[in-house]
A = this chain, B = another copy of it.
Amino acid sequence: VEPHETQYTERQRQVVLLMQAAQERLCSSFGQYEERAATAARRSPAAFAPSSWERPGGGGGTARVLTDGALFERAGVNVSVVTGAETPAGMARDRPAAAGQPFFATGVSLVLHPRNPYVPTFHANFRYFDVQADWWFGGGMDLTPMYGVVADAVHFHRTLRDYCGRHGWIDYQTAKRACDDYFYIKHRQEMRGIGGIFFDYLHPPDDTPQHWAQILACIEDGISAIEAAYLPIVERHMDRAYGERERGWQLYRRGRYVEFNLVYDRGTVFGLQTNGDIEAILMSLPPLARWEFRYQPAPDSPEAATVALLQPRAWADTDT
């Protein structure tokens, strides 16, 4: 998708450029960590290989996917630009007037599945949507540790609280609660991870150029916050030794990730229903996952301690 295509409005062009720059920058940052891990493991690093796709209804995207790396067992950063003659009902649930109108949507989404069980799985997405004169942003990020560490969760949430506080467009407490509500695996009665923030329908009260610029800056800073929130946690655990036990537990917890994404995730379920690029949609699934019948971690084990963390908690206010 070329950002200078003439059918885009100036604002659409700006957002597409922002998403593409985000993809470039994130792949470069994550790639540096992959290189460090590869050097430590005396192997060659894996790279983010581009894979473009087109959407029959209009638009398409480019996924950049790293497979079988030293740090990341799989990592994908996907940018999509999608247009359509009719807004699908599920795409603008709180905007009934948008249904049936032509729409434009673009966004970046990423899922990182580290190999080391001590390095948490990470997910983020930022997206823009417009239909006629109406437009809004949505997005957020959340962390899924297989071995929960209170200090990591506190760092992650404080970074997000600081980010929200810098702009005034996203209320951290509201976005944190929305994330807790969204990433809840109802049939397991536990959260997918330790949460993060999640917001939607972000739009200014007055649609002025100043407000547009402020919101665009807020989204851009949100993408930078991915690095500030996640990479120090990677740094802290990436060299930690692990064995069969930790690997088995990681694969078991990844089973929960699969359950959430296939049963509850709106983007996944919506994508499956609308003939999106199936591989780009299911890029979020882990490379390997495990299920076991009636497994319970031993009492007082690190695994049991992690499960105990998978409930909503005021992480940013927790003392460490």
Contact = CB atoms under 8 A, between A and B. Distances in A.
Interface of A: 51, 63, 65, 67, 74, 76, 186-188, 251, 255, 258-259, 262-263, 269, 272, 275, 278-279, 281-283, 285-294
Given A288-B289, A289-B288, A279 B294 contact: yes
Contact of A285 (B67, B255, B283): B255
Nearest to A268: B263
A95 to B, nearest CB: 26
A251 B288 contact: yes
Nearest to A74: B293
Contacts of A272: 186-187, 263
A292 B187 contact: no
Contacts of A251: 288
A180 to B, nearest CB: 20
Contacts of A291: 282, 285-289
Nearest to A258: B258
A293 B262 contact: no
7 contacts: A51-B293, A51-B294, A188-B278, A258-B258, A263-B263, A289-B289, A289-B291
Given A188-B278, A288-B251, A288-B288, A293 B65 contact: yes
